[in-house]
Structure 1
Amino acid sequence: MASEFKKKMFWRAVVAEFLAMSLFIFISIGSALGFNFPVVGNKTATATQDNVKVSLAFGIAIATMAQSVGHISGAHLNPAVTLGLLLSCQISLFKAFMYIVAQCLGAVVATAILSGVTSSLPNNSLGLNALAEGINLGQGLGIEIIATFQLVLCVLATTDRRRNDISGSAPLAIGLSVALGHLLAIDYTGCGINPARSLGSALVARNFTNHWIFWVGPILGGASASLIYDFILAPRSSDLTDRMKVWTSGQVEEYELDGDDINTRVEMKPK
């Protein structure tokens, strides 16, 4: 932990998570709120097409932010993704904690700013996640687990540095996975696969009804994806001692150039 704490690159990465998360939340939730404005004569404003619009906004926004800061922080932008990479032994406990704090702060700040920008909207919930009518707690939790599972599985597969068959864009693939998760979950829960995003809306709107689902679901989905990928689909050969070193000190190659070369970070770059 001490070695990471002293590195400039580490703190640049934490700041990158905060800034990218803030932009992601403002753009994506701003898009979700936009269809509440009355548009006279707009014959395309159906519920299904609104879902597509919002899903694409979330997916494209995350892909753009991943491309922008992926070489600095890895562009996790989601506590569930950070947890998955932690369990996959790709980051340290200290980095995971600081990333999650930065992500939550970024989401809260962006939602608060968006609250002021959209203050004239009637019944403005700021993109609050909630169970749809007729969906019980178990069903909502299951949807969140599945939607997050496929996202974290995509992140682990596209950023696996052992692969040499990746010729496309990892940020784009992950963005499409985010869009897919939203297409699945919006009608059931509003899609809470990002706990920090859910926290921002709940905190600013002061509504924590069933909020636990949007933490427990993504955590279970991300953790199960990581364990299945790491121990069943693509097992790693590192032993427990090597894993403990990563959890306590981080990946060695991330800081081998004294933290001054941004190209040392490869978490979100295809090999």
Structure 2
Amino acid sequence: MQFVAELVGTFMLVFFGCGAGIVWKSGNINLVGAALTWAAVVTAIVYSIAHISGSHINPSASIALAAVGLFPWKQVPVYVLAQTLGAILASLGLKWLFGADKAVHMMTLPVGPNPDSDLNIMAWEIIVTFMLLLVVCTTAVDPRAAKGLGGVAIGAVVFVDVILAEEISGCSLNPARSFGPALVNNNFSKLWIYIISPTIGAVAATSLYHFLQISNEKETKEAAAKDVFSSAELSRHGHENPIYSSC
């Protein structure tokens, strides 16, 4: 069930998201329209399959969550396989529907003012994926977060990420999202960046969240212990120095 959910979820992500990219680069919508499509489809997927598989739909997310103990490592290969297959199937569908000449527009090739700077592209992908996973952890993973708002928050950060990075790095955020179109178009230029960078950003985000969570739990325990100690002291002094009142 989880395998199917991740496969279908990633299929939807790539089909509608990259489909919007093709429509945008064909001149029928602008970047804001493409970004809104990405945000809307991510939000819809989160609310559709989060209760089934956790709605990772991203190999970097699965790896990063496992790295800090929030997801079992033994399930990572299954999730990554499902996500990769979903991305490939969606890419094949887009190529068939739009044609090979337009299918190249679903790739995450760098298109910014300095496309030869691998370091620049890596930095953008690390930063935008870091922000995405940090929002995922703090709004959807954290049990203290407001219930039911995770999908909206995640969709919002995806929108901002796409607006900022799409025209510079392609705003992959997701190795599967980049691998599927690259395979279908038989163009693996700079693909390694879109596999490594989102994973670095994702692991950094979950590590920070894990650190903050541990720190918060430690502070909570220390505060609770201090309250218990203070209560005990107050009780002891109360017995030693009873205070009587009269009317």
Larger RCO (CA within 8 A; separation ≥ 6): 1
Q: Tell me, yes or no, if structure 1 residue 92 matches structure 2 residue 81.
A: no
Identity of counterpart residues, as a percentage?
A: 29
Contact persistence 1:126–1:205 (CA under 8 A): no
Q: Tell me, yes or no, if structure 1 residue 156 matches structure 2 residue 137.
A: yes
Write out aligned runs for 1:57-72 (5 A): 57-72=37-52
Out of 118, 124, 130, the residue aligned to residue 109 of structure 2 is 130
Write out aligned runs for 1:65-214 (5 A): 65-119=45-99, 122-132=101-111, 133-135=113-115, 136-163=117-144, 165-214=145-194
Contact persistence 1:111–1:126 (CA under 8 A): no
Name the SS for the 1:212 alignment partner. Answer: helix
Q: Given the two structures, how large is their TM-score scaled by the length of structure 1?
A: 0.74
Name the SS for the 1:188 alignment partner. Answer: coil
With over 3 angstroms needed to count, the CA separation of the structure-2 counterparts of 1:36 and 1:94, relative to structure 1, is same
Contact persistence 1:59–1:178 (CA under 8 A): yes
With over 3 angstroms needed to count, the CA separation of the structure-2 counterparts of 1:201 and 1:99, relative to structure 1, is same
CA distance in 2, matches of 1:124, 1:237: 47
Q: Give the letter for the 1:175 counterpart.
A: G
Contact persistence 1:25–1:197 (CA under 8 A): yes
Report which of the two has the higher share of helix.
2
For structure 1, the 5+ residue unaligned runs are 1-11, 40-44, 239-271
Q: CA deviation at 1:147?
A: 0.3
Q: Give the letter for the 2:192 counterpart.
A: W
Q: Given the two structures, how large is their TM-score scaled by the length of structure 2?
A: 0.81
Q: Give the letter for the 1:151 counterpart.
A: L
The number of residue pairs the alignment matches comes to 215
Write out aligned runs for 1:241-252 (5 A): none
Contact persistence 2:24–2:34 (CA under 8 A): no
Name the SS for the 2:103 alignment partner. Answer: coil
CA distance in 2, matches of 1:184, 1:36: 16
Moved more, 137-146 or 88-97: 88-97
Q: CA deviation at 1:208?
A: 0.6
Contact persistence 1:84–1:226 (CA under 8 A): yes
Q: Tell me, yes or no, if structure 1 residue 27 matches structure 2 residue 19.
A: no
Q: Which residue of 1 aligns with 2:3?
A: 14
Q: CA deviation at 1:177?
A: 1.5
Alignment RMSD (CA, Å): 1.9
Larger Rg: 2
CA distance in 1, matches of 2:26, 2:197: 31
